[in-house]
Amino acid sequence: MSSENSSDDVRQVWDVVVVGAGPAGAGAAYAAAVTGRRVLLLEKADLPRYKTCGGGIIGPTRDSLPPGFELPLRDRVNAVTFTLDGRYGRTRRSKHMLFGLVNRPEFDQRLVEHAQKAGAELRTGATVSRVEQHGPAVPDRRTAAVVLSSGETLLARTVVGADGSASRIGAHVGVKMDQVDLGLEAEIPVPSTVAEDWAGRVLIDWGPLPGSYGWVFPKGDTLTVGVISARGEGAATKRYLEDFVARLGLSGFEPSVSSGHLTRCRADDSPLSRGRVLVCGDAAGLLEPWTREGISFALRSGRLAGEWAVRIAEATDAVDARRQALNYAFAVKAGLGVEMAVGRRLYGVFSRRPGVFHAALTGFRPAWKAFAQITRGSTSLGEIVRSHPVAKRALNAMER
């Protein structure tokens, strides 16, 4: 951290200020802090905070965790029951773990602690109202001002916006979204007899609304039950969740938490930076459009944002800073952007033909194997479509 002399005070300038302490923000703070830079992580909530999320940890998420981080797994999944709007149920099993399940408050807090151990400073209860890159709050062109709702202004060489799907920093950068969905979830404590029945097994239901699906993710004595569907169908999405819970015989158990959250996927041409400000995770609309898996996208883009934020902090002038910001955008698009493009295509087909997906996963062994490999992280959707001519042809055909 350096000091700026203004006429009547000495103001401190952080190398990197990260806004939002979810997986994207904690990942960015860690990546910047391990380089020895002065990093401040701002979070509006007190930690641990609740986040509406299934807490499904697939292979790519596990592979993107910072070194030395131990996953607080609540369950290990090796079986999936698939249903099509409650019917045609079939359970597929695997000898190996497919994916893990975490409680988000615990997982997120541990990630933040990991960033703190690397040297990042945390401030909770700090809501960011806006970022300014010009005007009286900004002492020079190598600095951005982060304004808190309390009126306090903090100075940074670089700002990383990781403030989730309703991001203020994303609005500053001009992030554009092209798919917005509503997720509804209930955390349902259940007796041990019911919990035992679900241990190690999840249920995925391809839903009645276009592009919708539901899930049961067991976490010991609590089941996370949720559904997701396009925004604008709020009443129908709520009905889907109620019917889903009733069908599973879980209506008699009182949820400890019921909540909703929007997910937003970025438009392909949406910016990822503006001046000295980068966005990552949900704030940038980075998540898989078909499954709406977002933790791995948050961790991967967060790490890149943290690494590039350090380079921007060191940039000698605006041209250099811009070059580093463009490098960040390029790195994100080359990896996550390619995966999102395939996910968007699958989402389009799935929205029109959920029955085909169900039939493939339950009745066609290669499709189940691909699902298992993707969740384990030994391949990705993009890789399958790129390297398997049959998968490529099948996707092309279904798009027609």
Measured from the CB atom, the residue of 255 and 356 that comes closer to ligand FAD is 255
Measured from the CB atom, the residue of 149 and 396 that comes closer to ligand FAD is 149
Interacting residue ranges for ligand FAD, rule: CB under 6 A: 19-25, 42-45, 49, 51-56, 61, 127-128, 162-164, 168, 183, 185, 226, 228, 261, 263, 281-283, 287, 292-296, 298
Q: How far is CA 242 from CA 201, 236, 238, in A?
A: 21, 10, 6
Supply the minimum distance, in Å, between the C-beta of residue 239 and ligand FAD: 16
Measured from the CB atom, the residue of 190 and 283 that comes closer to ligand FAD is 283
Measured from the CB atom, the residue of 218 and 294 that comes closer to ligand FAD is 294
Supply the minimum distance, in Å, between the C-beta of residue 370 and ligand FAD: 18
Supply the minimum distance, in Å, between the C-beta of residue 394 and ligand FAD: 25
Supply the minimum distance, in Å, between the C-beta of residue 344 and ligand FAD: 16
Measured from the CB atom, the residue of 259 and 351 that comes closer to ligand FAD is 259
Measured from the CB atom, the residue of 56 and 208 that comes closer to ligand FAD is 56
Measured from the CB atom, the residue of 84 and 284 that comes closer to ligand FAD is 284
Supply the minimum distance, in Å, between the C-beta of residue 56 and ligand FAD: 3
Measured from the CB atom, the residue of 53 and 248 that comes closer to ligand FAD is 53
Q: What is the 3-state secondary structure (H, E, C) of the chain?
A: CEEEECCCCEEEEEEEEEECCCHHHHHHHHHHHCCCCCEEEEECCCCCCCCCCCCEECHHHHHCCCCCCCCCEEEEECEEEEEECCEEEEEEECCCCCEEEECHHHHHHHHHHHHHHCCCEEEECCCEEEEECCCCCCCCCCCEEEEECCCCEEEEEEEEECCCCCCHHHHHHCCCEEEEEEEEEEEEECCHHHHHHHCCEEEEEECCCCCCEEEEEEECCEEEEEEEEECCCHHHHHHHHHHHHHHCCCCCCCCCEEEEEEEEEECCCCCCEECCEEECHHHHCCCCCCCCCCHHHHHHHHHHHHHHHHHHHHCCCHHHHHHHHHHHHHHHHHHHHHHHHHHHHHHHHHHHCHHHHHHHHHHCHHHHHHHHHHHHCCCCHHHHHHHCHHHHHHHHHHHC
Taken in order 299, 97, 291, 399, is the CA torsion positive or negative? positive
Supply the minimum distance, in Å, between the C-beta of residue 12 and ligand FAD: 19
User: What residue number has its CB nearest to ligand FAD?
Assistant: 294
Supply the minimum distance, in Å, between the C-beta of residue 323 and ligand FAD: 25
Distance, in Å, from the CA atom of 18 to the CA atom of 266, rounded to the nearest integer, reads 20
Supply the minimum distance, in Å, between the C-beta of residue 171 and ligand FAD: 10
Measured from the CB atom, the residue of 137 and 356 that comes closer to ligand FAD is 137
Supply the minimum distance, in Å, between the C-beta of residue 38 and ligand FAD: 19
